[in-house]
Structure 1
Amino acid sequence: MEVEMKIINDLKPNTVLLGFKKRNEQINQIIAYIENHDQTVIGKENGKNRLLHLSDCFSFFTSQKSVYVNNVSLSQPIKINDRLYTLQEKLPKQFIRISNTEIINLNYVQEFEISKSGIILIHFRNHYQTSSSRRYLKAIKERIL
């Protein structure tokens, strides 16, 4: 396979553009690697920066005008410097926005439950529970169905 690289300045941040004549197994493996490459986010804990792998993060949420991350290896959420809307743009496709205040990692979801009022209750494998707003209901259904 011949590899050619070209810097394209008008692409969105963290975007890779691939060109190929025909999609095959080798191309699929390259795409899977790029999509699933373990990215990180920096959190602040006790005044120190802490590098967190996105594969260990199961939700990002806002509280009191700050953004926090829930991580499987931490007992308490920790603060991050990113804004939720910027996170949404750069997170891999397994993350989905479920409300104005929360983004979740679908890899950690155990089940979805629809309440009588139409809100989706989301149960995680680690017993964490949250809910989506009705505004995001359509996007969630399209993603999981």
Structure 2
Amino acid sequence: MKVEVVLDAACTEPELTLRTAAVTSEVEQLLRRLSEQPPLLCGERAGRLEVLDPDALARVYAAAGKVYAVAEKGEYLLRMRLYEAEARLAGRRFVRISHSELVNLDWAESFDTSLSGTICVRLKNGGASYVSRRYVPAIKQILGI
């Protein structure tokens, strides 16, 4: 698919034109994705339910039967399963690094591959997470190593 962006100072509102010879499944999928509103992600902290910005989340993890999101402002309890959070964050830069954790690649500062069989992900907020052996090949493919 060819994509072209044209900057026009006279344009007051973004406009999208799609030219195609036929409506294929790829075109239908693109139209569906453009018309969808991304689902909100809400987290609870200090008795308040807050709408979370996915870009502000460093990681999402499950512990003791609950799911938590670590954000710039602190840690939030999510009222959903980890796979549901993963589905809501699909299309963003989140990757599963273990059975119980997702990491935002935009928050990754470095990847330590010196450990045998696993990878340590150092996050910009000072935290660290470990890629389980099952997910190491997928992370290596994402990193291009």
Assess if the C-alpha contact under 8 Å between 2:44 and 2:76 holds in 1.
yes
The answer on 1:18 being equivalent to 2:38 is no
Moved beyond 2 Å, runs of 4+: 37-40
Deviations 1:41-97 (A, max 9, x none): 1001122211110010010001100000000122xx210012111222231330000
Read off the aligned partner of 1:78 and give its amino acid letter. Y
Alpha-carbon distance in 2 for matches of 1:110, 1:39: 28
Q: Identity across aligned pairs (percent)? A: 26
Match in the other structure for 1:44: 44
Q: For residue 10 of structure 2, what is the aligned residue in structure 1? A: none
> How far apart in 2 are the matches of 1:49 and 1:144?
35
One-letter amino acid matched to 2:81: R
Q: Which whole-Å CA distance do the structure 2 matches of 1:142 and 1:44 have between them?
A: 34
Structure 1 contact 121–129 (Cα < 8 Å) conserved: yes
Q: In the alignment, which of 77, 80, 88 is matched to residue 78 of structure 2?
A: 80
Corresponding letter in the other structure for 2:114 = S
Q: 1:103-142 residue pairs with structure 2 within 5 A?
A: 103-142=102-141
- Alpha-carbon separation, structure 1, partners of 2:97 and 2:55: 18
Please give the root-mean-square deviation of Cα atoms over the aligned residues, in Å: 2.4
**Matched letter for residue 29 of structure 2:** L
Aligned residues: 116
Corresponding residue number in structure 1 for 2:14: none
Instruction: Give structure 2 stretches of 5+ with no counterpart.
Output: 1-16, 20-27
> 2:54, 2:38 → 1: CA distance?
7
**Secondary structure in structure 2 of the residue aligned to 1:59:** strand
Whether contact under 8 Å (1:38, 1:55) holds in the other structure is: no
- CA change 1:117–1:79 in 2 (3 A) is same
**Does the Cα contact within 8 Å between 1:38 and 1:54 map onto a contact in 2?**
no
Paired letter, 1:116: L
Asked which structure has the greater CA Rg, the reply is: 2
Specify the SS of the correspondent of 1:18: helix
TM-score (norm 1): 0.71
1:55 partner letter? D
What stretches of structure 1 of length at least 5 have no aligned partner? 4-15, 20-30
